[in-house]
Chains A and B, each alone.
Chain A
């Protein structure tokens, strides 16, 4: 089904601090903008898939949103996979369209942990709270330390990732954090949980994003401008808690990436631009290894020398990612992938024809990959 389903439209809200806005309202604004971008009437939508917000998890959220949007979709609901859910929902929608279960799907996500609750990111890890084991940053720090010990990865190499992505964010007028970063500033950044510094950690943000999917044929009939084909997707669920993982530096992102690239008929060397889930810098480094951009353990040397920066060999997170565009888990990366394929990105990679996008959640518990191509 390579290329049979397209992303016909994208929409978003402002990113940052949005007091007084609930996630339903934010979802609706993003969906309204995505439908307008695609040139699709709401009445044509027959699938509504939504990642539940982290700030206020609630039962049957998909139905609550459908009610607020006046929709009775054929395919609908939400999927709890943490930060991997957005691409997984896009994949599910693509398969549903391919198999005649629905025709036009909205995949949307809104969250407001910045003005609402950020408990999901700071909570205790069960009984291990007795040992002081709390919060999401420490989980990634645990993986980062093992990577450093095992492969000689350095703090400066993580810093190179932060510098490249923050500078992309600085060029994005819609980014929540527009302050660029130098390696020297990174080195002065305070420890949150050593070996991760403040500048290794993503933002906490309010905001929403949405995409409209349909078949390539339908997009052609409707005269959609620049429909972006979905070339491949895949998943891999590491699932196990960090202490139970037999190898802290391998994850099922390898399976996810391999599945998506195989479906697309591509390998890492064919990818022109990457949008890699950067909740923490180490996540980018390990995902690039998992996808085959660098051999296992060589992610550190790979990211040095500006390789991830605009003008480098693999421009990554060209709108600023989670580190500076918005901390929202994942869908903003898909939007930037679409803009790159349309040739409409603020920091456009000239002649980019393929983009890989990663979404993942928990402490690399969940993973989903999307490969996009240029509009035909």
Chain B
């Protein structure tokens, strides 16, 4: 433990700590520009300069990298220090007169206009980008040149393979000077957020979805820089609970059970390969799942109804039904996905409610299938009262309208007439498919699948698979909506309980307590019991 004086007050710090660390802890503010908690101090910007008296002489040192010493006296706000800092900020303002962050900083020092010749740079050469890139294990950029010619650059000013486009440099750059496209040869794209259907990016450390259990962040090993280069690990320094363990491995847990209920859910149909709908080409052709996220308050646009290409509020939206359902032409899903008609109506109705502008909604369908009690009423209300248009038709093509982002639907009506209509946005009502690994799962469990690769069950025992003791519920049994799934889950649980009734309590272990003993007459004692 080292004791020293900070602005006249006695403070303590650990051996090896720097002045800045102790000052931060003691609530003494020292300005910095090139300091970052996760990176080694560089002492480049010199803004954190303070006065240190070591018993013999006074020196000006940088707080970020000056190790604390017993008995020294540190003063962070002397006239000389404040004047020097102000001049440094003025010099930076002369260098970068148009950078908002520098302007703001200068304003806090009461500087509006530098007394020096202005240049038009946007980099303050704090070196954070270079140091963080090194920390990432890459060192794709460095400070090149010397003196007045120093700058941040890649070797030979060429885009480099070394850069993995992780974006760490851009994320720490205080002025916005760093442009990833100048640095990397790789494609610059965010990590698509699975929960938001790829409409926005997410971080390598993320909570998969708001209702996740347990609700703790996970590290995506496929994109985390530490698992790519061995570097980084900055998260460990910021987690105050010290909960991050990069060495953690997936565990296989073996359980002995009496029965199994399969509830793997479904796989949404991927329309990327479907040429008719041009989903991959036009950003304003979205799937119904994506549209759900667009409408959602927790979604990428926070329930503000906009289309992805230009975030413009759409005036007309079309829903196209039976995409990946009742189709054996471009895919192998001959069945009806059961839920699409209802969710399309629901989306159209909610979209109308959400839209700030009057919204025209049209659902292009083959047959309207409103499974469920009174569901038809909802359809009728949407059609007659809310004004959702329903057009029985077959879609021929979707074409772009110039560069507007709008889409022209070409379709054939029931009467065989070819028609065209332009929409701002098209929603594909995608169908439900069995999970991708259904076949593999069935093989391992030795259960039968039906011809569409859903779990095979019999009419009067809809939750029993072909193998006794193995049950199924939800969309793996066949496409169905949430109420149906919940009901089936209860049924599966009950059926499994019925099967296991005869052995109930047979594996229960009784807790053994020590034998009670007679303590009458013994001396009283005090016991301290520590719970853990």
A and B form one complex: no
A residues whose Cβ falls under 8 Å from a Cβ of B: none
B residues lining the A interface (CB < 8 Å): none
